[in-house]
Every structure is written in C-alpha cells, then in structure tokens.
Structure 1
Amino acid sequence: MKRILLSHGAGGQEMFALIEQVFQRSYGPSGVSRDDSAIIELAGGNLALTTDAYVVSPIFFPGGDIGRLAVAGTVNDLLTAGARPAVLAAAFILEEGFPLESLQAITDSMHQTAAEAEVNIVTGDTKVAPRRAADAVFITTTGLGAVLRPGLSGAAAKPGDKIIVTGSLGDHGIAVMLARENLLGSDNIRSDVAPLTEIVLRLLEAEVEVHALRDPTRGGIAATLNEIARQSQVAIEIEESRVPVRPEVAAACEVLGFDPFAVANEGKMVVIVAASDANRALGIVRDCRYGREAQLIGEVLPAPAGRVHCRTPYGAARLLEMPTGELLPRIC
C-alpha cells in the first residue's frame, strides 16, 4: 500500500487492512477498538465514546441529508455498545462560498434528529477551507453515552445465537448513489437514515440476552457479519430468502451491478441474541417505529471460524465474503 485509495474508506477488506497496518501499528492493538465505540472504565460507571466523519455526496438526498446522517450515525454507534447516548459534539469543515441557507438546513436537521434521539449537541468547531480545497461540507461528530449493558461486542457472539436484522437492506446506499447520478425517477427509493434509540433501549430494558449489536453501514451486512465472525471466531450462516430487500432496491442493484448485502445502511441494526430470547427480541423490535420489517435471518455456528455463509433458496450455500474495492464511495 503506497497511497490512500477510495477503497480504503469503503468499509471492506482494504479499510480493515489500513486499520491494522497503519493505525494499530502506531497506536498499538489496544489503542483502536474493533467495535464502533470504545469503552472508558470509570469508578462511577462505564462510558462509551465514538467519533465519525461524514463526507456524503450529494449532501441532500431522498430521505435525509448529511446533518441527519451525522447525528443518527453517531447515536447508533453508541447504541451498539449498549450505551444510552447523552451528548454529541460536531465539527464542520465548510468550503468557501457554501450557501448559508444550506448550512442552516443542515443544522436544523441535526437539531431535529438529536431531539428524536434524545441527545444534546453541546459543543463543536467550524473551519472554512478555500474554494476547491474541500467539497461543500464535511462533518465530524463525537458522541458520549452511559453504558447500560457492559460486554456487548462483536467479539461476544456465541454458537447457537440467532441473528436479527431490523429492516430492509440497501436503501441508504442506493438512494444516495441514484441521487448522485441523477437516476432517481421517483421517491420509491429513500434513505433509511434514522437514530435507533427506541429499538436498542427497549431490548436492554426488557433484559433481552443480547450479545452483539452492529449497524451495517459501509460494506453492508456482508462487512458487518464478517467482522463479527472474525472477532468472535465463529461461523455465521444466514438464509438469503429471509433477508429483507425492497424489490426496487434489488432491481437497482441488479442493473448497477451491486450486491445489496454489501450496500450501506444508516437506519438498520444487526442484533445477535441468545436463541432462547430470539422470538421475544423480534417482537420487541417489530413493535418499534424503525423495526416493523425486522426479520430473523440466521444463526451463529461454531465453525469454520471467521466464515460467513449464505444459504440460497435452492438449498446451496455460498460464501459471503468481506467486500473489496471501492463499492459506493462518498456514501456516509
């Protein structure tokens, strides 16, 4: 690896190689959490800390905008740690000449999304870059929350666990891609971007035996399930026919040559739960605003460690590999 490529930010194999070869090499293996949030252990209780940068193009897309994306994405990362999101910080890099009206629309959207997620934006920063030194607006958000359920991690999946996905896949990535290329002819495909506070907190409050939570953003569920299989040293098998994908999203993926399992989502959660609690968990998720299309899609197996298989409707099984290449750049 001599130079940074777009594929290094796509959420697939190249990004994980970058983390291992550069960041972990500099910071040490314990300096970079392989989960979406780091846990800070304090005498009065544990805190979850996460940070993320958003470079989506276009910045306004069907179903959302970069502001809603920044807040929802950071909130969801805190939730994956079993934490109740509390406060956010937001830093903006603005290109000289960016319309003030557009910035106001973005910050209003951030405020509304934060209110929906029951968090406060408490601090931030603003920098302005010369024309053509940045692309419109980049946002970096940092989130802090109180851990309600210690031990949730991609390394905590156990053989026998069941896998739930909270709704249809691929909506966000395809909506943004079609908007970018001016291929949208209607509002049929819209981003799913949303804070999933209600879903996760209700699962935790009901004392469901959740072992792992992960929002399948860059690289989709293909990257997410491979991450979990590698972290936990287990195998994962999913049933292709059970994975919800909207027909219009599936059709767009087929035309454009994308695998919907590798397309980014911004309002979905993968929930790995003990088999004894799977049906109860599914009922709780389906009773939530953003979980009505939830499905139980597979299970965790003891071996072969680190592998993910997808069983087709014809009974055959295919390997669901970690995505590689550029996938869909500038999605989140």
Structure 2
Amino acid sequence: MNSYKILLDHGSGGRLTHNLIKDLLLKKLNNPILRPLSDSAIINYKEKIAFSTDSFVVSPLFFPGADIGKLAVCGTLNDLTVAGAQPEYLSLAFIVEEGLEYNILEKIVNSITETSRSFGVCVVTGDFKVVEKGACDKLFINTSGIGRIISKNRLSVEDIKPGDKIILTGNIAEHGLAVLAKRKGLDLGFDIKSDCAALNDLLIPILKKTDCIKFMRDPTRGGVATTLNEIAIAADIGISILEEQIPIAPKVKAASELLGIDPLYLANEGKAILVVAEKGAGRVLGLLKKHPLGRYARIIGSVVKAPKMQVVLNTVLGSQRILDMLTSEPLPRIC
C-alpha cells in the first residue's frame, strides 16, 4: 500500500498526473469507454436522456455508513433516478488539496469503484486537479451522470393535483445525524449510520410496472420539510402530512430530541419522496415494501387545495404546524 502524499505536481498534467491516472483511477475504474482517456466520452443514444451534475464537499470524508466517494456516486444516481431515468454513465472529477495522503485517495476511489459497479454504472470520463494546501479542505468531488428515461409517463410537478398521495420511502434524518456526530466527535450512544444508498434498484422497476407516479425528489439538503415546500411552491398546491406517519427510527428520534434538532430538516441520502395518484398509491407502497430500501415506506400525507404553497404538519397532539422551508443550514457541508 502506498503511503506517500499527493503533490501539486500530481495535478500538473505531466508524468505524475499520468501515472496516478493509470495506476489508480484507470486501474480501478477501467471500462472500454474510459480506457482511451479521451477528452470526452463517446456515447451513442437514440432515446430521451436525463443529465445531472452534483458536487460533494462533505466533512469529514469518512462517516458511519459511507464516505465522500460512495456519496458522490449515490447522489448523482439518485438525481437521475427521481427524474425517471435509468443511470448508466458517470463523470468523475477530483479537486485534491496538496498533502492529502495517497491511501485516503485510494480508499475513496475503491469506494467509488465498488458502488458504481454494484449498480451497473460506468465512470467514462473525468478530471484530476491538485490545489495548494489550504485552498480546499482535503478533497472535493464532482460527478455528472447520464441516464436513459424509462418512466412510462412524464414526471412533472405540473401534473400534481389535490388528492394525490405523498409517499416517503423510508426512515428520515439518518445521514444528517451520522455526519453531525462524526464531525463534532459526539458519542450519542445510538450508533446511527448514514442512509447513503442508490435508489435506482428500488424505484426503476416500479416506474416500469406502474404509471401512477407523478413526481419524485430525494430530500437531501434541507430534509423532508424543505423538499415538500419545493414541491408545493412549484406545483402551486398545498401539502398536508401526518406526524404519526413519518417514518423515523426510535434512536434517530431520541438523538434529535437530545440535540434539539428537528429531523424533518436533516439531510437524507437514500430516501425519496413520491407524489402518486390516489388510486395507485396502495400498489406503489406495496411494491416499495418488497425491497430492503423501501421496507419502512409510508404514505405520509396528501396534496390539498389550500393553503396553497404551504406544508402543514398535523401533529400527534391534534394541532397543526406550518413547516417552512429551511432558511439557514444547521449543518453545512452535509454532502
């Protein structure tokens, strides 16, 4: 195992750059499209495609349940999946701080390799840059993804109507709490792990079997509350949810109460919110529950006529609370 550190010369485009790409990146991620190391990947498409990009600056690089590499792959795969696309290809770009240990970079590349291959996705192009010490915090990653649209019907907020059901695919707030505890060195005693996971194996088969899903989004930064607000504003509708139906693990609920944090605003990295026609909601829920990533899925509420562009939480005490969009990030650099 190599123990040296990344130097500025590793990003110079010269011999060290080429050696690192050949000996680490190409060795781990090798496939026919990537192998020529061209300036662009050549991909043949006739169908409608989805294209997404995302950058990852999470701190720390490694946290319970995942790391920045796995997060970078899953995050972009999920953005494609909730758009109704089967992810197929990724780009991968690194910005590395001078002095980063090679072993850390290698572990992250191994994680990227394992995650992408496990979901049948190829990294086909990329970039590697090194900046002076202090110019970035250890390592940042950008991934872009391309996927083939497979949804039977378009997924659009324009099709959302009163009566549609809101489905959440699983327990909330696990990623946010896992990163918070690791970054702050908190020993909460709950062993909470990030929910970081790619959702294509969960959602793509359901999109192929049904035509009642109207819209999907993954509730990452800002959590479930902010994502629901985004949907309500974009669709010019109201959303009413039931507190008792929101899936949350007991240890996550206890940790949130201990820290004084509302779990509805904490990031998730392996969950999706689905807006589904009322007549098909039961079937979609049943299909979700057959998959390990959807076993805790629940219908948490409905689309309503009023109040428009607002999200109302019906509490277990019988009262109502307006869930506003997040105005300030309680935990920056969560992804």
- How would you bin the TM-score normalised by the shorter chain? 0.7 to 0.9
Report what 1:219 is aligned to: 222
Choose which of 254, 259, 281 in structure 2 pairs with 1:256. Answer: 259
Counterpart of 1:320, as a letter, is L
Report what 2:28 is aligned to: none
Runs of 5+ in structure 1 lacking a partner? 1-41
Report what 2:61 is aligned to: 59
Report what 2:295 is aligned to: 292
Q: Could you tell me how far 1:289 is from its partner in structure 2?
A: 2.1
Report what 2:142 is aligned to: 140
Q: Could you tell me how far 1:156 is from its partner in structure 2?
A: 3.2
Q: 1:126 to 1:247 in 2, by over 3 A?
A: same
Report what 2:119 is aligned to: 117
Q: Could you tell me how far 1:255 is from its partner in structure 2?
A: 2.3
2:260 is equivalent to residue 243 of structure 1: no
Report what 2:14 is aligned to: none
Q: Could you tell me how far 1:186 is from its partner in structure 2?
A: 4.9
Identity of aligned residues (%): 46
Report what 1:9 is aligned to: none
User: How big is each residue's C-alpha offset from its partner over 1:64-95, in whole Å with a ceiling of 9 and x where there is no partner?
Assistant: 00000000000000011101111000100000
Report what 1:176 is aligned to: 179
Q: Determine the C-alpha separation between the residues in 2 that align with 1:185 and 1:319.
A: 30
Counterpart of 1:104, as a letter, is E
2:176 is equivalent to residue 188 of structure 1: no
Q: Determine the C-alpha separation between the residues in 1 that align with 2:323 and 2:159.
A: 21
Farther off after superposition, 148-157 or 229-238: 148-157
List aligned pairs for 1:297-316, cutoff 5 A.
Answer: 297-316=300-319
Return the TM-score normalized by structure 2.
0.84
Report if aligned partners of 2:164, 2:278 keep a CA contact under 8 Å in 1. Answer: yes
- Structure label with greater radius of gyration: 2
- Structure 1 stretches of 4+ with a deviation exceeding 6 A read none
Runs of 5+ in structure 2 lacking a partner? 1-43
Counterpart of 2:240, as a letter, is E
Q: Could you tell me how far 1:330 is from its partner in structure 2?
A: 1.0
Q: How many residues align?
A: 291
Counterpart of 1:140, as a letter, is N
Q: Determine the C-alpha separation between the residues in 1 that align with 2:244 and 2:191.
A: 22
Q: Could you tell me how far 1:237 is from its partner in structure 2?
A: 0.5
CA RMSD of aligned residues (A): 1.5
Q: Determine the C-alpha separation between the residues in 2 that align with 1:275 and 1:128.
A: 51
Q: Determine the C-alpha separation between the residues in 1 that align with 2:177 and 2:159.
A: 31
Q: 1:43 to 1:121 in 2, by over 3 A?
A: closer
Q: Could you tell me how far 1:185 is from its partner in structure 2?
A: 5.1
Q: Determine the C-alpha separation between the residues in 1 that align with 2:206 and 2:160.
A: 17
Aligned to 1:290, the other structure's residue is in SS state helix
User: How big is each residue's C-alpha offset from its partner over 1:79-116, in whole Å with a ceiling of 9 and x where there is no partner?
Assistant: 11101111000100000110111111111111111122
Return the TM-score normalized by structure 1.
0.85
Aligned to 1:250, the other structure's residue is in SS state helix
Report what 2:79 is aligned to: 77
Report what 1:270 is aligned to: 273
